[in-house]
Structure 1
Amino acid sequence: MSWLEELLQRSRRLLHVPAHRHLPPRPRVAVVTDSAAALPAEWVAQPDTADWLRIVPMPVMVSGQIYGEGVDDVRAVLSVGLAEGTDIKTSRPSPGLFRRTYAELEGLGFDAIVSVHISAELSGTVEAAGLAAAGVGIPVEVVDTRTVAMCEGFAVIAAVLAAQAGAGVKDVAARARAAAGACDVVFYVPNLEQLRRGGRVGAAAGLLGSLLAIKPLLEVRDGRIVPLERVRTAAKAQARLQQLVLRRIERLEYSPQLAVHYFGNQAEADELARRMSAHVGGPVLVTPVPSVLAAHTGLGVLGVVIGPELPAAS
């Protein structure tokens, strides 16, 4: 059974309580996140998930045209734009969009909201969510995960499972923070030009990435993207990526959830996931980098997220 199938089964067990069990009323806490979380579409689309979760799209601007992840077909447009060297920018969601999302959930009868987001070091999304929270009639706890992609996604999953189990707003937020803190994300990009243009790495790191065709390996540390190692060829960089991930897994006392990210190179991602699956005792999630992140990493990115254990059902 894949981790995703097990996750869906846990949600169903949490939500569908036998009629003969009389339980006291539990708080209803909704979870909000942004599209940088890279959540698998199969899980998001499940009714048991959709009832508890809202995803606010992050804007991507390609040649002056604004697209929203999950709203428009931004992935195809972005792929062409990256290949052609088109001007590409991203921005945070507006506080107004967050406010409308929170108000909708308040209208549905939720008692509180936990809003789980991309690192504040990489985006102004946390700030926008905080501004919107002040205008809502129910408590909103904003969580800065200090990370991105499925590291953020695993935090969202932990929050949703806790909410489905009837946890209060503080506990749901704590579960999200704990899951994010247990994650690592290591990735390879063919070059650092897109990250440099977007200001996500310093100019010196960009120079090192292009010098002598060096291929950079990076990680997210303390909420920021930082250089990890420099390798001479793409093949060596991908092999080294796997070595670094396996070394980190070996230090863990549990079998983590793994996710592999890519953009424009799914065959490479599938092969990496196949090799990694033997080390975690099951299938590895393979999912594209969200467009708002691919706008900065560029085509050919390959990343691995080392997640926490699958959250226990409460």
Structure 2
Amino acid sequence: MTVAVVTDSTASLDPDDAAREGITVVPTTVIIGARVYTEGVDVTSQMIADALRSSVPVSTSRPSPETFQSVYEALAATGVEEIVSVHISSKVSGTIDAARLAAGRVEIPVRVVDTLNAGLATGYAAGAAARARDAGADPAGMVAAAEEAARSAMVLLYVDTLEYLRRGGRIGRAAALIGSALSVKPILTIDDGQVTPLEKVRTSSKALSRLVTLAVEKVATYEGDYDIGIQHLANADVAASIADQLCERLGRDAIAVDEVGADIGAHVGPGTIAVTVSAR
């Protein structure tokens, strides 16, 4: 059976990695001011950071059911017999709803996976599905691999301000911190699909140091190999420093450092640092 893996651009997959693993990425829409852009095509994270700093309105939109349907039908036309579609948490985005609607409109089976996670954690889950397929798993086994990768993942998020999450409606249980946002630097995570406070730290330097420690502690719980990645928005020097610290403590030669995608960047804001780990 020929099975395709699909995800959305919030998964933050490098285009070369997606192509190598045979993963099709459906782009989200980003609106800056009155202009509409397509993530991964004509909008950059730096454009998002510049707009947010200049108080230009920035918003995002999920792929439409018609977009998903078009992607699914195009894959079917190439001989694909089934699709595993792996996406960002249903509790922060309507992407899953659009994928499910599209799945009901196409002739081949589409299994839609709600990772209850976001960013690289979704990307790692899609990668797990692709590796399972290449190792001979059937679609049910691919779904199980994606779900296990998503469950094992931890997203550790440092943001300069909660304001952008609040504006975008993605703040989840972290809303409880709004009143104390000026006196603490929260470390956030994704828990049960929602943005959730993990720890409250008094200074930025202590929060970033704690980010490293928490990532190391999480990796220690994995029995085998793992994925790890660092993302930032307009904070490259700090992200590189975090990578150096993690390499030293984990005994790794290198850890990938990238800017967050435009869609996620619009919700977390400039200065963000994210560390994501996931068991392989």
- With normalisation by structure 2, the TM-score equals 0.94
Amino acid at match of 1:149: G
Aligned to 2:95: 125
Give the direction of change, closer, same or farther, for the CA distance of 1:73–1:91 in structure 2 (3 Å limit). closer
- Seq. identity, %: 39
Asked whether the equivalents of residues 255 and 280 of structure 1 are also in contact (C-alpha less than 8 Å), the reply is no
Other-structure match for 2:255: 284
Q: Conserved in 2, the CA contact under 8 Å of 1:256 and 1:280?
A: no
- 1:178-231 deviation line (CA, Å, top 9, x unaligned): 11111111110011000011111254322222x33x212100000000111222
1:206 to 170, 178, 188: 178
Q: Residue 255 of structure 1: CA displacement?
A: 4.5
| Divergent runs of 4+, >4 A | none
List per-residue Cα deviations over 1:131-182 (Å, max 9, x = no partner): 0001111100000000011111111111111222332211111111111111
Secondary structure of the residue aligned to 2:226 is: coil
CA distance in 2, matches of 1:252, 1:102: 35
What amino acid maps onto 1:43 in structure 2?
D
1:235 partnered with 2:209:
no
Equivalent position to 1:193, from 159, 163, 166: 163
Which 10-residue stretch deviates more, 135-144 or 222-231?
222-231
Work out whether 1:294 is the aligned partner of 2:265.
yes
Report the number of matched residues.
277
TM-score by length of 1: 0.84
Structure 1 residue 252 corresponds to structure 2 residue 226: no
Q: Report if the CA contact (8 A) 1:67-1:74 is conserved.
A: no
> How do 1:17-28 residues align onto structure 2 when only pairs under 5 Å count?
27-28=1-2
1:38 to 3, 8, 12: 12
Unaligned segments of structure 1, at least 5 residues: 1-26, 310-314
2:210 and 2:269 map into 1 onto residues whose CA distance is 20
Equivalent of residue 138 in structure 1, options 108, 132, 135:
108
**2:138 corresponds to:** 168
Other structure's SS at 2:91 match: coil
* Aligned pairs for 1:48-63 within 5 A: 49=21, 52-63=22-33
Partner AA of 2:124 in structure 1: F
Distance verdict in 2 for CA 1:140–1:45, change over 3 Å: closer
Structure 2 residues not aligned, in runs of 5+: none
Larger of the two Rg values belongs to structure: 1
Verify: 1:220 aligned to 2:190, yes or no.
yes
SS of match in other structure, 1:257: strand
SS at match of 1:93: coil
Compare the two structures and name the one with the higher strand fraction. 2
Q: Which residue of 1 aligns with 2:126?
A: 156
CA distance in 2, matches of 1:114, 1:224: 23
